[in-house]
Amino acid sequence: MEEPKQKSENIRMATILKNLSDFNNNEIPSAEDYHFGIVVSEWNSTITNALLEGVLETLVKAGAKDHQITIKAVPGTFELPYGAQHLFETQQIDAVICLGCVIQGETRHFDFICDATANGIMRVSLDYSAPVIFGVLTTDTMQQAMDRSGGKHGNKGVEAAVTALKMLNL
């Protein structure tokens, strides 16, 4: 019984002591030549709006202009894959960043939403041969979500933007 608890604590230690959004700006590729789509969930908007701010700040610092960024809102995290697909079909987009937040509740709904969203985002990326970035927080508590959306562990939105830039520069 002690071993699973220890393993769980070790996994948590991977994020507990550092800001995961701390990047060397010299290692972030330029955004100047690309057009970005951002699909953001309206559910848990306090968190997703903070993620969006992180994405926008990072893309602008990397050289993106307003006309290179298209933002679309969807009702919830489950709808992110369709939003990404819609952007590829209706806009000139090089990469899509999907932003959402699912917080564990008392039912298995969390598991179904997280699994379907991850698989859907991957499918859109493969179908369109383009980066579709999983900027979705899947946390146990609201506090964990706040810590990862501009709090003590950084901003997953920053990480998602950097990932998009690195994937575009493969």
* Count of Cβ atoms closer than 10 Å to residue 158 Cβ: 27
Residues 23-37, mean pLDDT to the nearest whole number: 85
**Cβ partners under 8 Å of residue 34, min gap 6:** 64, 68, 94, 95, 165, 168
Q: Does residue 6 register a pLDDT over 90? A: no
User: 20 vs 13, which has greater pLDDT?
Assistant: 20
Point out the catalytic residue in the list 35, 67, 86, 109: 109
- Name every residue whose Cβ is closer than 8 Å to that of residue 159 and which is 6 or more positions away in sequence: 20, 21, 54, 135
pLDDT band of 4, cuts 50, 70, 90:
very low
Q: What is the mean predicted confidence (pLDDT) over 151-166? A: 94
Cα separation, 79 vs 84, in Å, equals 9
Residue 18 is predicted with a pLDDT of: 60
Q: What radius of gyration do the chain's Cα atoms show?
A: 16
* Residue 12 in domain: no
Instruction: Give the pLDDT score at 39.
Output: 98
pLDDT at 144: 95
Report the share of the chain in percent with pLDDT over 90: 74
Q: Which residue has tokens 């698989």?
A: 119
109 is catalytic: yes
Q: Which domain holds residue 151?
A: 34-168
Is 109 inside any structural domain?
yes
11 within a domain of the structure (yes/no):
no
Mean of all residue pLDDT scores within the chain:
88
**Total domains in the fold of the chain:** 1
Q: Give the CATH number of the domain where residue 86 resides.
A: 3.40.50.960
Q: What is the pLDDT of residues 102-124, one digit of tens each?
A: 999 888 888 899 999 999 999 99
The pLDDT of residue 29 is above 80? yes
In a domain, 118, yes or no: yes
Residue 45 placed within a domain: yes
Provide CB contacts within 8 A for 80, sequence distance 6+.
Answer: 39, 41, 74, 98, 99, 100, 117, 120, 121, 136
Share of the chain above pLDDT 70, in %: 85
Is residue 6 domain-resident? no
Residue 10 confidence class, pLDDT cut points 50, 70, 90: very low
